[in-house]
Structure 1
């Protein structure tokens, strides 16, 4: 059995609701904690034909919106803009970062573009997206459909195939308008569905491309690029409140829906989180442990799912026998690709499933178990972890352990809280980032003891007090004051300053702080008052 894939990065934002419940095919999430069922942009309505592609590309930061909250989907794209979009869409950040930017740029672009995007532009030339000797790049010119088709084909590495198809006539009524140099690229673009014609069977090769059209073309290239570091594809195997457990190649990955998550159904329409179902095949874009974008690729069938009570397990045969509510008995086997989790999303061993346990089995077409969700584990134990989130209105605590795996527990009014030196402490005296020891019985925490305060935390807020002499920093984060003493080796980042010091941080600066093992290790300033006043 493969273990649940741990998440390696420290989460930057609190997840919202994670309710523990027995699920059938879907879970209702309270509307206050539901995903964002509306467009992220004021000028892109929910009914816009390119909404899904615009959303996906925006989440990936390939095409971003404007400061006024608009996207301007009908605005025409320049060749420089299209080129930078294509480079970002390739998802090769590490390779771009390694580009030697001391080299001269062999294409003509504005000075601001060279200053800000020289590595991206050098990479574009290096990868053959633009060939300077062709003299076919004009940074300020509008990108035509023919020109951007060439760019898309080169982006997915099909330039040689375009050369082979350069003498083939595309099946458009206006094929005569297609530039000679673009014929092969148009043929390849059609072959790989990078482009499509208009309802009147025209290509309109000289028509300028809009931002919405560019987003669609870039999205269509996804199957031909290695975007596995950015986009996950898998099958939903469990839904519990705001938690979506996805099986990716037999590995169970826990991810969390929050109020900015955008969800699309199989028909590319916006949906609510309650419309997701177990066995849905999905693609999603996570940030740390949170889902920013999720789209249902195909809806799952409930016919290959069994919910019932375990009668018997035979570990030597990898066999489990389950009886459903209609007294029908099923015997199914698991293999090395099968995953097993409890209702909190934590990895669970098939061998530890006892008779009488409630489970849900998801089977493949051969009846072999893909996933098993174990519901009433009656877990009893003592565990250490970092508080990842406290949802007091739901009486819920989410913990992150030393392997960066997440578990969630409910608590009741009888919860015992122990904080050294404090009389009559309550759960309200605990904070995200605290290191705690919990005593667990089933899905509930009976006792929680504070071991070390604020041991692991990432927060964003405004500087209230800064005392460089004592390394003291007080930050207001969402109405709560946090006081820290900066570590001697604290890393400070202030855009525009080389080797900044604590003294360069000013009152009212917006900062992000990273606390590790109780020490303030990193400070990033977003809008430095020092720079704004120079």
Structure 2
């Protein structure tokens, strides 16, 4: 017989253990990349991605489980090893925090037929005293066991459900469900005295079948199943384990996490081996999936967070609006007006202050009577503001500065303090430059033009006016001669009829093949016949661009004359091209001229003689779905939406924004996020993260509609002028297609059109639900029906006659109507 010491180790190692025989592939966080390669547990026989890996790792870190030490010094868990009833009792007591109540060393007497090993007797006695075990029932089991003992009996799946339900104090629920038939096809094999406990365990989300329709009640429970069972039960029966803290996450970075608990904040380090999970999933997550100000559970060792579990997505914050009265930076508070009453708002060192465009601003920049949107925590005794969003501080008006650069979304200028300031462009921007008709942002000259910018109420640029020059633009001019000593050019205009003298100077900006070069370096290229675009004020050249490309919208393609005609916004330009030019299509293999069509925007790159286009780059935006993220190398893998095709994108140096123009880093993207990727040829220009909104329409107005969500909140959506509604076979830019009660998804497509898709309910026959991968299965309508499954999320509503019901209450054969998009269910109505 093993010694008490060895038995203690054996029992402790037995404490690890759903009655689920499968799992889903893990999505491993960046922080767990190394750990994932060898598994997230200390046990060599629990491989990375094992379905019970989370539960085994968690209980091991809580000190509830140990492993079996092998002869070579490693530790094994032996997940498939069966657990006896007496071993399971020890685990139940330790799980319930009753270990200290066990009276070791006393005399414990049981009937002769109730055989329990000596070490386990005090544990079993305490379980009987606490009502965790039913004495009458367990004694009867032992008496009918033919003298084989009670403690050595392999714990069955149905027996374990009763032990667990009684251990967490849910016996009454089991009694209420005792006469209810379970959802499993082998319900007849479940003993009548266990049926209520099986139903209660399933209802509480503690156990699942070995398959969607089989429970296998008599099968013995192994260590991995019992680990998952007790790990899940912690959500219903929380126990404070050493080194474990539950609280609100207030900060989370790649190196640390800060948790608010009991009136104080504690910060713990985070390492590459820190594990991240959700309470409602067995799949590892990325740290970025944990929202700030939500409830988490953290297991710590020596000041380091070794395990973080997200307990809820509900942020413990609320948002209010107010008018600013005054700021006291030293006292860390502001006074605001709410409903004509002065209210003091406190804040901490980590207060985030943004303008409505998402730009960070200083506390000192806030103006009295500014409208503020204030985010307050709901968990501190003295509530703190964690975020302020202020309206436009200058109001609609103008600002001045020196132009620095711009693209299709922003403009940057240098203000009077020699600081660079960036503003977002409105959808339409009027540009005024003396001497240039129909000027655009592209006509501005960097570090030369003094500009006056007009802003709207949303702090977006609506107009730009150059105030320091009268510029003449000479596009397509040809060099006749150039004198380096005098820095003087004689040029012929595009008509070939008029000659002009243009002088260069040290401030002249010269662009050669996309690179800035000096006037001295430009001399060797300013040879007779060179074609240039020149901006000049009088005879002084402000900028000179060697023509190496032409950008515009295709108006015609003449394959007979090998000529491409494009509209550059000012005129129609005829661009000859070489035989078989290179055609670059964003994110794809190289194309041909047949891939281009009238209306496409292109850039034609000219050959070294500036006479013909050798490469034609298509301007196009694609919408992708992010499937994996490598934050360290700034790369993402995306699904293209065409079959199973994926692409790997390098986003180093690429501007990434959300729909509001707020700049994002790669690590702020999430798996499943849709992104619009804009290409010129094969080069990515910018990336925009797209938000999908799913909800039920509450009301429709002239400019949009209001949607409601499962949690009771609502959101007002304005569709603007560029939108399309798809409802059944109808598709139009017409809000009259919408009505209250419609279930919709709303998003921006690749062309920034607001798309509103209305879900059309599918009549289906329910067959089963797999909780392991959150998939609902229905009867195939034909042999060709390959869309008879639906993904279920925490946002999915399941209803019957208008009331919410648990998905577990659906029975095979039930008639249901599924509302969703691309096999993702938003609402399931039982008919």
Higher strand share: 2
Q: Which has the higher contact order (CA 8 A, sep 6+)?
A: 1
Q: Which has the larger radius of gyration?
A: 2
Q: Under a length normalisation based on structure 1, what TM-score does the superposition of the two structures give?
A: 0.49
Higher helix share: 1
Q: Under a length normalisation based on structure 2, what TM-score does the superposition of the two structures give?
A: 0.33
